[in-house]
Amino acid sequence: MPHYREVLYRSYSENLGRAPDEADERPDSSSFEYLRELLPEDRGAAIADLGCGMGEWLAWMQGLGYTNLLGIDIAVDELAACPDVPTLEGDIVEVLEKNKATFDLFHAKDIFEHLQKQETVDLLLSSQKALRPGGLFLISTFNGQAPFADTTFRGDYSHESSFTPTSMAQVLRATGFEVVFVRGIHSTPDSPSGKARRLIWKAASFVWEKLIVSRHGRGGDNPGVDAFSVAPDLLALARRPK
């Protein structure tokens, strides 16, 4: 019998009911604008998108003038829709293990929730070795302590894990990274509907955050970590020590 991942990742987006037929139907790239200030100034920096999917982020990076891009994914059908950048189909850890101290920046959006605990550690350890000293890792995933996080987790049968700001910082530090920050985000397009979604979430999440604080208190020292965020997503920035 085929492995469950082989079954689920074959035509992954189509099976979720969201495969675009045309490139211009991809999500609005304005939803990535919150990352612009975190990108390297050097447009020739070596950058890899881990779990690149259909290449929305890579297309956005191309539009900003970055030229040394690579997409890596295990889903062949996703890569077929990728923009005109080099791509590799295969296991991300295996690819990174063959490219020591090669990259300046990794980006990984919505892949950590698909990894089991050992796989998360393996990926982070391999990523640190594949980054040059001082290289950065941008990670985004859904926030496991946000309202309806369980709905998000169970909404995709391939999900394996969830993270809070605290647990994300924990595993990053344990695998040798310096945590620059872990914070909550709500990345939506700058369309009227996207702005409305952010406003509604901000208003509705006020009580939820107060409940988390009342449960855990605000004690402890966790620099750079927004431990009580209830935003729907997390953004982490980590650095390989120099």
Q: For residue 130, what pLDDT is reported?
A: 97
| Percentage of the chain modeled with pLDDT above 70 | 93
Over residues 151-196, the pLDDT tens digits come to 999 999 999 999 999 999 999 999 999 999 999 998 777 778 878 8
Q: For residue 18, what pLDDT is reported?
A: 65
Q: For residue 77, what pLDDT is reported?
A: 78
Question: Mean pLDDT score of the chain, rounded to an integer?
Answer: 88
Q: For residue 24, what pLDDT is reported?
A: 43
Question: How are beta strands 178-185 and 131-142 bridged, if at all?
Answer: unpaired
Q: For residue 220, what pLDDT is reported?
A: 65
Residue 163 vs residues 101, 170, 183, 221: alpha-carbon distances, Å: 27, 10, 12, 19
Over residues 126-158, the pLDDT tens digits come to 999 999 999 999 999 999 999 999 999 999 999
Q: What are phi and psi of 86, to 5 degrees?
A: -60, 140
- C-alpha 89/C-alpha 77 separation (Å) is 10
- Enter the pTM of the model: 0.88
- C-alpha 64/C-alpha 240 separation (Å) is 25
Q: For residue 195, what pLDDT is reported?
A: 80
- C-alpha 37/C-alpha 19 separation (Å) is 30
Q: Which residue has the higher pLDDT, 93 or 221?
A: 93
What confidence tier does 19 reach under pLDDT thresholds 50, 70, 90?
Answer: low
